[in-house]
Amino acid sequence: MAVEIIDNFANIQEQLIINEYIKNDYSYGFNNTTVPTDLKKQKHTKFTIDYPQFVKTIFTSDESDCFIDSKFFPLIYSLLHKNKLSNYFIHRIKINTTFPYPNSDKNNHGPIHDDFNVLDKKGKSIIYYLNNSDGDTIFFDEKLKITKRVAPKQGRAIIFNSDINHAGCCPINSPYRQIINFVLYK
């Protein structure tokens, strides 16, 4: 399994600009689930909790719902270019914000899924952490055994093939966990 961790996906100046933009933007929607229920292969373990999140779409190329945030997209695209990922098509870019969930602990995680179902194509997924928090991203093998945990760190990104099973964890000790999720394809 190839999961690449890049600790300086965005430099300090870029992190400050991104966080300032997000701090002043109140156009988030509420989702009562962390993974769309229409995903074909959503998986669960005894530790799965499907907790709610706030979502802000930056870009989507869905035929039925095409959208681009014209103020924020250029900065985000420049991060893709800087990290040599601009040769991919963009399926979606969105910000996810999760909060502590009652009675959850470090063993709990959201529904296990891959992003390959979304595309029906080979692709790359990126999770970029906007803040320091707890609430790891967990990667699983085909038998749903944990193969890797990555802790959120501001400025860090993880890049992986979109067909890899993964799940996010809600924070326990931090007030929130905020990421930018990219799904790219060739």
Quick one: average pLDDT of 178-186?
93
What's the total number of domains in the chain? 1
For 127-142, the pLDDT digits (tens) are 999 999 999 999 999 9
Q: Where are the beta strands (DSSP E) in the chain?
A: 3-6, 29-31, 53-60, 67-68, 89-98, 123-129, 137-140, 146-150, 157-161, 165-168, 177-185
Mean per-residue pLDDT, 148-177: 96
CB 116 within 8 A of CB 128: no
Taking alpha carbons only, the member of 51, 55, 50, 58 closest to residue 30 is 55
Query: With the C-alpha atoms ordered 17, 23, 25, 31, is the resulting torsion angle positive or negative?
Result: positive
Instruction: Name the 3-class secondary structure at 171.
Output: coil
CATH number, domain with residue 139: 2.60.120.620
Task: Output the pLDDT for position 155.
Answer: 96
Question: What is each CA distance from 166 to 113, 116, 148, 149, 186, in whole angstroms?
Answer: 6, 11, 9, 10, 21
pLDDT at residue number 101: 94
Q: Which domain holds residue 144?
A: 3-185
pLDDT-based confidence at 118, cuts 50/70/90? low
Q: What pLDDT is stored for residue 158 in this prediction?
A: 98
Backbone φ and ψ for 133, nearest 5 degrees, come out as -165, 175
CA 158 to chain centre: 9
**Percent of the chain whose pLDDT exceeds 90:** 63
Residue 117: pLDDT band with limits 50, 70, 90: low
pLDDT bucket at 177, cuts 50 / 70 / 90: very high
Q: Return the percentage of the chain with pLDDT > 70, whole number.
A: 92
> 56-96: per-residue pLDDT in tens?
989 988 767 788 888 889 989 999 999 999 998 898 999 99
